[in-house]
Amino acid sequence: MIELRSDTFTLPSAAMVKAMGEAALGDDVYGEDPTVRELEETAAGLLGKESACLMPSGTMANLAAIMAHARRGSKILVGAESDIYVYEAGGAAVCGGVIYEPIPNRPDGGLDVSDLARAFPDDPDDPQFALPSLICLENTQNRCGGVVLALDHLAEVRRFADARGIPVHLDGARLFNAAVAMGRPAAEIARYADSVQFCLSKGLSAPIGSILAGGVDFITAARRVRKMLGGGMRQAGIIAAAGLVALSDVSRLQDDHVHARRLADGLADIAGIAVEPGAVQTNIVMFRVTDPRFTWPVFVAAARSRGLALAELGHGRIRAVTHSGVSERDVDAAVDIVRRVLADESPVAAAPTGARR
């Protein structure tokens, strides 16, 4: 099976497995796991932040950040296409008593400052209104096609947030994809946010975990939330060891970006597929099936029956994600499978298969 549903399907490298088996361990809830401490210090340094905390998942990292930043009864401003709003089960509302206000995402993944401004009541002293307490950005922006947010846009949102007196959280699940695509250090992107999370378990290919980074006081508060949510881990160095290997060579992500563009170029030559190769910036390719014989569930099922795993990611679009488990040869084979699927004169219906981040 050629696995293009998500980069969450990556498997740890041999170097990661070796490091996991040799990791020095302790009790992380007591702050005594040396490998976790090394990972957290390394990650904080890469992001230019004072401190960091290992989390079991990106979803928990984002939720802990929101709960550490935002008071109950306030609202957070999130992209309408953001993972925090669409895919994280309403956790801020359920666990934190925080309201989501979705802001339209621009095609480039950003949020217009004018739209953010409209989320603030004209009279902040009017008790009828929930007040904004946090702005959340996403970089790369998943549902906008893995696009990279421009630094000048991040700076613009930062200035707006400062003027309004509220913090900015960056969901950087694929932050290092953005950094590699821009040819800039991750810290140059992270500097515009008060807190940042990134996933170790996506393109970086570690099996488990995410990092949440920010100021010392913020991370202290986030650790309390992590414990409350059930995320306190003990000998977590076996996870952290793989994360350290992942962070030792993030430049490998460039291969995934090259493969994604190759995939988009190949799909663009197939009748019945609508794709914009020039829109591909990182490791995500979004396309539509325009052949009227195929609904997306039928297309996805037909591709899977031929050895290609794809998934829908909102608005009837198919998402394909390249990663360390996908070679150039796999990309070419995937294009051939799509071509053969569309050449089939009798497609059959099947149950839909959705993507999960």
Residue 51 has pLDDT above 60, yes or no: yes
116 and 136 Cβ atoms separated by less than 8 Å: no
Residue 287 has pLDDT above 70, yes or no: yes
Cβ neighbors of 218 (< 8 A, separation 6 or more) are: 51, 68, 69, 194, 195
Q: Give the pLDDT confidence of 84-139 residue by residue, as tens digits.
A: 999 999 999 999 999 999 999 999 999 999 999 999 999 999 999 999 999 999 99
pLDDT of residue 198: 98
68 and 275 Cβ atoms separated by less than 8 Å: no
7 and 321 Cβ atoms separated by less than 8 Å: yes
Average pLDDT over residues 336-344: 95
Q: What is the CA radius of gyration of the chain?
A: 21
- At residue 289, what are phi and psi to the nearest 5 degrees? -95, 115
Chain mean pLDDT for the chain: 96
Please state whether the peptide bond connecting residue 290 to the residue before it is cis, i.e. omega within 30 degrees of 0: no
239 and 208 Cβ atoms separated by less than 8 Å: yes
Please state which of the four CATH numbers 3.90.79.10, 3.40.50.720, 3.40.640.10, 3.40.1350.10 is assigned to the domain occupying 8-248: 3.40.640.10
Residue 68 has pLDDT above 70, yes or no: yes
Q: Does domain 252-343 have CATH number 3.90.1150.10?
A: yes
CA distance 175 to 179: 6
Q: Give the pLDDT confidence of 190-229 residue by residue, as tens digits.
A: 999 999 999 999 999 999 999 999 999 999 999 999 999 9
Each domain of the chain, given as residue ranges in start order, spans 8-248, 252-343
CA of residue 143 relative to chain centroid, distance: 10
Q: Would 8-248 and 252-343 be classified into the same CATH topology?
A: no
Residue 349 has pLDDT above 60, yes or no: no
